[in-house]
Amino acid sequence: MAGMIAKATIIASEAWAAAPPDGCDAAGVVARNLPAVVNISVIQVVTKTGDDGSRKEHLEINDGSGVIIDPSGIIVTNRHVIQSAAEIRVDFSDRSEVAAQLIQASVLVDLALLQVDIGRPLPALRFADSDSLRVGQPVVAVGNPFGIGTSVTTGVVSAVNRDFMRSPVDNLIQTDAAINPGNSGGPLLDCAGDIVGINTALASNNKALGSIGIGFAIPSNVVSYVGGRLRHPETDSPDWFGLQLQDMTPSLAAAFHQRDVGGAVVTATDRGSPAALASIAPGDIIAAVDGHALSDSRAILRELVVKPLGQPATLSILRGGAKHDVTVTGQQWPNLAMLRNEFLADPAAVERAEAQGTGMLLADITPESRRQFGLGDEAGVLIYEVAEGSQAESAELKAGDVIERVGDNAATTPQQVQEQLKRGNHEGEELVPVLVRSKTNTRWVTLCVGRVNVSRLMFAPSQSPNVGTAASSQPHRQ
């Protein structure tokens, strides 16, 4: 594809909007279901490599989206939204905010489950049957683009079964409903207000990576299936067969003397895998699973991976011009679930990032600095220098900017500002608003100056006697 696929959390500035679809009451869908859509704010440890090859960690605040799928407080979002997180907070439509914990994230699919507890049941959305989606069907995307707040876009299903994530259960929905950075993890809804997908990525041919009307969502059936296994990663994992497949093409079909271009050809089997033990070999053409003719490699892998663990599968194989039925029993997927702390920030990296502070060298405004930086009559404290790879740099602060306020207090001296931004003065994560005047505008910037504790992100199932059932419902089989 000309252009590029980008996670929808990258900062962008250009948006594309589709016309509202006919026959769909988008306003009604939003009014009924908006309380179940949340904004997610993540303090992440980001590593930047300097021009000299050195690596520096800094804290960065990024935004994403999520949707409540169980009244007990289970939220689904994208894995990349919470990757390298040190703290995760969830904002609800009523502007209340609460800390979230990670239940588990998926290695195979860009999904993660969070848990929040506000002491009462929460509104939750249902999963629709994404296998029933039709190209041209109206859809509504809800999320937090660019961190500006909950927004709604409308469009249609442009295509189904798109393949960009390269996983056994990958069959993305393509939509022209605008999906931008920050929409990641938010729901794609049908006209009944049910979840048909989780917004995940966008294709863009502009430098800002803004939407040009080509967005992608993980289908609800995949989300439901994977979510159930994230709930119980030790006991409920997908089947592993050790097959590596390639789609059949007209040229491959001709080369293998096959009339039908359906199915997939085996390229390799993993050593010691069930497929290898069943003597499946490169060049074998798998045409069907349990009697179901399947169109491509991902359809075959999906059919296999969702089988109950230990249940045998019958593969119809074409080999040497003859058809063979081979029975294979899957095993538990090896190394499927990474430890949660492999998704989250490393505590040592957090300490290094915290030790760096915000990365600003502050100074009084003097007649000389006014001439040096072209300042007018601004009052406040001068940002004289910004460290490379620092939190201040990630917030796009620059030398010559002037800090006018820190929270409710006017900025008067460098010492006063430094004391207010001094790390360790605050217990837990502390986000401080700083009013900064640059040559082009004046804006509030949020800086993290408290101590973050990654261990608070670990959710133990024993913490809640009932974490719900919506995420573990069975998918609609193809």
- Spell out a b/e string for 76-115, using b for 16 or more CB atoms within 10 Å of the CB, else e: bbbbbbbbbbbbbbbbbeeeeeeebbbbbbbebbbbbbbb
CA distance 75 to 230: 12
DSSP secondary structure code for residue 458 in this structure? B
pLDDT, position 463 = 52
DSSP secondary structure code for residue 427 in this structure? S
DSSP string, 19-53: PPPTT--HHHHHHHHGGGEEEEEEEEEEEEE-TTS
CA distance 332 to 236: 9
pLDDT, position 468 = 36
Cβ atoms within 10 Å of 462's Cβ, excluding its own: 6
User: What's the maximum distance between 2 C-alpha atoms anywhere in the chain?
Assistant: 89
* Residues belonging to the active site: 80, 110, 184
**Residue 431 neighbours by CB under 8 Å, 6+ apart:** 61, 446, 447, 448, 449, 450
What does each of the 478 residues of the chain score in pLDDT, given as a tens digit? Answer: 333 344 443 322 233 334 444 568 889 999 999 999 999 999 999 888 877 777 888 888 899 999 999 999 999 999 999 999 999 999 998 889 999 999 988 877 899 999 999 999 999 999 999 999 999 999 999 988 877 778 889 899 998 887 765 566 668 999 998 888 888 999 999 999 999 999 998 775 555 566 677 889 999 999 998 888 788 765 556 678 888 888 888 888 888 888 877 889 999 998 889 999 999 999 999 999 999 888 888 788 888 877 777 789 999 999 887 888 999 998 876 655 445 557 888 888 888 888 888 999 999 999 999 999 999 888 999 999 998 888 999 899 999 999 999 999 999 999 999 988 886 555 555 789 999 999 999 999 999 887 888 888 877 655 543 433 333 333 222 2
Q: Which two tokens stand for residue 36?
A: 């179940």
- CB–CB of 171/222 below 8 Å? yes
Give first-to-last CA distance, the chain, whole Å: 28
- Spell out a b/e string for 195-214, using b for 16 or more CB atoms within 10 Å of the CB, else e: bbbbbbbbbbeeeebbbbbb
Which region holds residue 27: left if phi is over 0, alpha if psi is between -120 and 50, else beta?
alpha
DSSP string, 135-147: TT-EEEEEE-GGG
Q: Please name which of 176, 181, 218, 184 lies closest in space to residue 65, comparing C-alpha atoms.
A: 184
pTM for this prediction: 0.74
Domains in the chain, start-ordered, CATH in brackets? Answer: 4-232+465-472 (2.40.10.120), 239-332 (2.30.42.10), 358-448 (2.30.42.10)
CA distance 266 to 253: 13
Task: Provide the β-strand partners of residue 155.
Answer: 139
